[in-house]
A and B are shown apart, each in its own frame.
Chain A
Amino acid sequence: MAEQLKDVILEYVRNEYLEDGDDREVNYDTPLISGGIVDSFSMVSLKVFLETKYNIQIPDAKATPEAFDSVNNIVTLLKEFGVE
């Protein structure tokens, strides 16, 4: 289940943030924000996606650049909301 969750997020990140022809490798540990793939402003789309997909509300205080900085970090965050 955890692997499936990771893959859903990974696929979303690839589709949502990589431009056509951008062949950068993105895996579960790739730094998304500190690595320059997702900026702090467009991170909001990822938050909207997670909230809609898993029917949760992530408070702004929890939606930090660190918490969203990799697929693995996001999975850890989602656990707090009962999503595994």
Chain B
Amino acid sequence: MAYSPEAKAALAGELESIKSQGLFKEERAICAPQDSEIEVQYPIGSEQKKVINMCANNYLGLSSHPDVVAAAHKGLDHRGYGMSSVRFICGTQDIHKQLEDKLTEFLGTEDTILFPSCFDANAGVFEAVLTEQDVMIADRLIHASIVDGIRLAKAHQDTYKHSDMKHLEEKLILHQDKRIRLIITDGAFSMDGDLAKLDVIVELAEKYNAMIFVDEAHTSGYIGKTGRGTAEHFGVLGKIDIISTTLGKALGGASGGCISGRKEVVELCRQRGRPYLFSNAVAPSIVEGSLKVLDLISKTTERRDKLEENTKFWRQALTDAGFIIKPGETAIVPVMLFNAKLSQDFSRDLFAEGIYAVGFFFPVVPKGQARIRTQLSAAHDRHHLEKALDAFVKVGKKYEILGKTKQEIIDRYGL
């Protein structure tokens, strides 16, 4: 038997080690379409419980929108279930090209290439575009998929302190001898919910002759007056050389991602992007659903406007109640608890109160910065947020953290 007792014991030991470090992740089963209220089994197999969902990336509430679902059905009916091919063999349909063109128009770029996911886009782009003559200079809080992409590329690597523009400038000066300098950042940082200082980054890029890569996964669809992302928010549309984004969050929430930007970058991804070349084309139902999403959000900003209102309400309400939150403008609102166990206990108690929000702790976030990450949606109505707030206050009172400073919480619960 190839799976020897030694191999089995070794792998079981790895799992035990994950458990003993308190890092073992358990999934919940959602027994309903994604929405602001969902039926959840936790643990899986237990009785279903109806809860308010405060942790989905369903920013615009389009994951189960009837028009999007109908469009996906149209995709199934007219273009089938799957492509059984990568794009360059026989996996490119007319609708894939339509979606790429629509995304180009939406993001204000020169060209776009679809990937099976934004993770794949980020994992493939740097290796496809850069060589050992170049350098990638990345913010230290970028998403794991970009870290993987950087590690796969042959170009030199360097990093700068999170959103520290002085430090970025020092690194740009240090690497003036390289052929291409590529500044790499998230638009919104997924754990803290803050935005990259793209206006300053554009200035620095112009001053030191650097290109810019921005991952707009957590911003496309709702940040900026018409939802075009961080670049729109800072008035630098058209000045970002490479944008990656996802169709798996605000833009319908199914799957699929893209690289959008300079024509040459996109073409190099088409020629050399390994996740593009060696995985299947995005399924037709998802392509049609995504086209409908872009249609819906191009006609009206109603959903992103509602999300903005929800976000303002939620940030203010938590602050008034005495919680410490990470400041920012995005729909990602981290409630800081600092202690890892407290974040787990708090999340469990919220669930008992009918609120689904997950605690994050080291190594997902730095040590001593455990938190509950809440995420708003345009699918939330005010009564959902009021109920969620009541639950947060009730649990906050139980642990006596309301109105307490960071130091007071740490003194009581430890880091």
A: which residues have CB within 8 A of B?
16-17, 19, 36, 39, 41-42, 44-45, 48, 52
Contact at B159–A42, with CB atoms within 8 Å? yes
B: which residues have CB within 8 A of A?
138, 140, 147, 150, 156-159, 161, 164, 174, 362, 366-367
Number of CB contacts from chain A to chain B under 8 A: 24
For the complex, what is the distance from the CA of A76 to the CA of B147, rounded to whole Å? 28
Q: Select from chain A the residue with minimum beta-carbon distance to B362.
A: A36
For the complex, what is the distance from the CA of A19 to the CA of B138, rounded to whole Å? 16
Given the known inter-chain contacts A41-B159, A48-B156, please indicate yes or no for A36 contacting B147, CB distance below 8 A. no
In the assembled complex, the CB of A23 is this many whole angstroms from the nearest CB of chain B, namely 13
Contact at A39–B158, with CB atoms within 8 Å? no
For the complex, what is the distance from the CA of A48 to the CA of B156, rounded to whole Å? 9
Contact of A36 among B138, B150, B158, B366 (CB under 8 A): B366
Contact at B156–A41, with CB atoms within 8 Å? no
Could you pull out 10 A-B pairs where Cβ atoms are within 8 angstroms? A17-B161, A19-B164, A36-B362, A36-B366, A36-B367, A41-B140, A41-B159, A48-B156, A48-B157, A48-B158
In the assembled complex, the CB of B97 is this many whole angstroms from the nearest CB of chain A, namely 36
Contact of A45 among B158, B164, B366 (CB under 8 A): B158
Q: Select from chain A the residue with minimum beta-carbon distance to B136.
A: A44
Contact at A44–B159, with CB atoms within 8 Å? yes
Contact at A44–B362, with CB atoms within 8 Å? no
Contact of B159 among A19, A36, A45 (CB under 8 A): A45
For the complex, what is the distance from the CA of A36 to the CA of B364, rounded to whole Å? 12
Contact at B147–A41, with CB atoms within 8 Å? yes
Q: Select from chain A the residue with minimum beta-carbon distance to B147.
A: A41
Q: Select from chain A the residue with minimum beta-carbon distance to B157.
A: A44
For the complex, what is the distance from the CA of A44 to the CA of B156, rounded to whole Å? 9
With a cutoff of 8 Å between Cβ atoms, the chain B residues found around residue A19 in the complex are 161, 164
In the assembled complex, the CB of A77 is this many whole angstroms from the nearest CB of chain B, namely 19
With a cutoff of 8 Å between Cβ atoms, the chain A residues found around residue B150 in the complex are 41
Q: Select from chain A the residue with minimum beta-carbon distance to B137.
A: A45
In the assembled complex, the CB of B345 is this many whole angstroms from the nearest CB of chain A, namely 22
In the assembled complex, the CB of B132 is this many whole angstroms from the nearest CB of chain A, namely 13
With a cutoff of 8 Å between Cβ atoms, the chain B residues found around residue A41 in the complex are 138, 140, 147, 150, 159
Q: Select from chain B the residue with minimum beta-carbon distance to A41.
A: B147
For the complex, what is the distance from the CA of A44 to the CA of B184, rounded to whole Å? 15
Contact at B158–A44, with CB atoms within 8 Å? yes
For the complex, what is the distance from the CA of A45 to the CA of B162, rounded to whole Å? 13
In the assembled complex, the CB of A83 is this many whole angstroms from the nearest CB of chain B, namely 20
For the complex, what is the distance from the CA of A19 to the CA of B367, rounded to whole Å? 14
Contact at B140–A39, with CB atoms within 8 Å? yes
With a cutoff of 8 Å between Cβ atoms, the chain A residues found around residue B362 in the complex are 36
